[in-house]
Amino acid sequence: MQTEVKEKPRYALVASVQLPDVSDVEFEASLAELSELAKTLGFQVVQTFVQKRSSFDRTAYLGVGKLEEVSMFVNRGVRNDELEAGSPALDADAVEFDVLLVDHEISPSQARNLELAVGCAVMDRTMVILEIFHRNARSRAARAQVEIARLGYMAPRLREAAKLAGPQGRQRSGVGGRGAGESHTELDRRKVRDRIAELQREIIAMELERKTQRARRLERQGLGLGGVSLVGYTNAGKSTLMRALTGSEVLVANKLFATLDTTVRALYPESVPRVLVSDTVGFIKNLPHGLVASFKSTLEEALDAALLLHVIDASDPGFLRQLEVTDEVLQEIGADEVPRIRVFNKIDHVGDEAAQAAWTAELQQRYPGCVVMSARRPEEVASLHAAIVAFFRQDLVEDELLLPWSAQQLRGDIYSHCQVLEERADEDGSWFRVRGEPETLRSLRAQLNPGAQGREKEYWEV
């Protein structure tokens, strides 16, 4: 009989400094987001320490008094009556704090001094995000991109790590290195640079391969192909909407950054023109610049798309800040000029029917042309599906084609790449009145009997 092994709980503390230019609402939203990030990593946040200052302490981020308060809390332990509201009760005898999470990116020396002062490991916001990306990356490209970002983050912190290591960070023999007396830190930095260069070469090769695959895919599907890319804040429900629009089984999880690798599926039921839908990595406030740069290949789907679906969590009180973050990142990668539809998802999480109706009306007034829906309601998904198809049909033109009896093998191509409005037959073959993209129609016409096309206008006027 196999015994289930229960994983030991991991406990975390959170610390943050509120600067004068940060509002209380924005500050609380950022802290709540960090707690969700911690949850994604498997930590239970026990206590949050906040401090209002005009600037971060240059030595250890927090001021001396707050450092002492955190240190006493870590070393004394915690009682159940001291827990934050909503935190599960703890077994006081088993409490051991694993990490202090800081809601900003801090310097290597600040992290080292903070760790020494409070007596437990320290992770800043950037390191938390990098760790989540590292755990969730699945494809070869995503893993390589995450490793580059992590190495870039760790490189300047090697010196502080060497200080913590004591004598191990000092001089050692030059055997195998570049010269006698090369330190661990110098050698490690060289290894980091070499590894980053190696990964960048791999990514360039993968990008070429991906472009080739995309070109082949477009060639196979024909010219009548549209692209939609789902973008938005992490955990806004993009993967759930992706599954609803395409009928595919993609990962759906109620946690931040559940999706890192781009997934591409055809819109279902299929339409004319055929539309491909892609899901992208979610955005987040203060996304490390190294990750924005390294994930450009993942976000390229947004650049290549003809239409963006900007998915927003309608039930989140901080949706406005999330909307602004997504707009900023899209502008940073050059995708801000791509046409988009704002999709306010999760409206079913907003109170009762009356509350949902009132919030829907307000959102539609504030954001004309937006879609307010729940990805779990089939009729609302069908309405969004129709809006997407209408977008790709707005530039279609009507035309007439004659398919000779000798070229009936092309019948499938006509139905695949055009919307057939009418079909009739005579002694010359099948006549089609169709709606499609101009380039697609020209391509089909070139494959048909050009001598028969002169009769089209005369035929349809009869």
Average pLDDT value for residue range 319-333: 83
pLDDT of residue 157: 76
pLDDT of residue 4: 46
pLDDT of residue 222: 46
Residue 59 pLDDT > 60: yes
Give how far Cα 263 sits from Cα of 147, 260, 266, 281, 390, Å: 21, 9, 10, 10, 23
Residue 455 pLDDT > 70: no
pLDDT of residue 408: 86
Residue 425 pLDDT > 70: yes
Q: What confidence tier does 154 reach under pLDDT thresholds 50, 70, 90?
A: confident
* pLDDT > 90: percent of the chain: 32
Whole-prediction pTM: 0.69
Q: Which of 230-244, 274-288, 382-396, 407-421 has the lowest mean pLDDT?
A: 274-288
Q: Who contacts 209 (Cβ-Cβ below 8 Å, separation ≥6)? A: none
Average pLDDT value for residue range 63-78: 87
pLDDT of residue 307: 92
How many CB atoms lie under 10 A from the CB of residue 227?
20
pLDDT of residue 179: 44
The CA-based angle 189-191-197, given to 5 degrees, is: 105
Residue 450 pLDDT > 50: yes
Q: What confidence tier does 236 reach under pLDDT thresholds 50, 70, 90?
A: confident
Closest C-alpha to 420, from 443, 396, 404, 442: 396
Q: Which of 24-33, 290-299, 365-374 has the lowest mean pLDDT?
A: 290-299
DSSP annotation of 171 reads B
Long-range contacts of 81-86 (CB under 8 A, 24+ apart): 82/47, 83/46, 83/47, 84/45, 84/46, 84/47, 84/48
Q: What is the CA radius of gyration of the chain?
A: 28
Name which residue leads in pLDDT, 317 or 374. 374
Average pLDDT value for residue range 205-229: 66
pLDDT of residue 87: 58
pLDDT of residue 449: 59
| d(C-alpha 84, C-alpha 61), whole Å | 23
Based on the number of CB atoms within 10 Å of its own CB, is 104 exposed (0-12), middle (13-18) or buried (19 or more)? middle
Name which residue leads in pLDDT, 272 or 110. 110
The type of residue at 106 is: I
| d(C-alpha 327, C-alpha 304), whole Å | 17
Most confident of 138-152, 294-308, 310-324: 310-324
Task: Show the DSSP H helices in 41-124 as ranges.
Answer: 64-76, 108-118
pLDDT of residue 196: 86
Name which residue leads in pLDDT, 91 or 172. 91
Instruction: Give the tens place of pLDDT for each residue, 288-311.
Output: 666 666 555 556 667 778 899 999
| d(C-alpha 312, C-alpha 234), whole Å | 9
Average pLDDT value for residue range 329-343: 86
Contact 123, 167 (CB under 8 A): no
Mean pLDDT for the chain?
A: 80
Q: Which of 34-48, 189-203, 346-360 has the lowest mean pLDDT?
A: 189-203
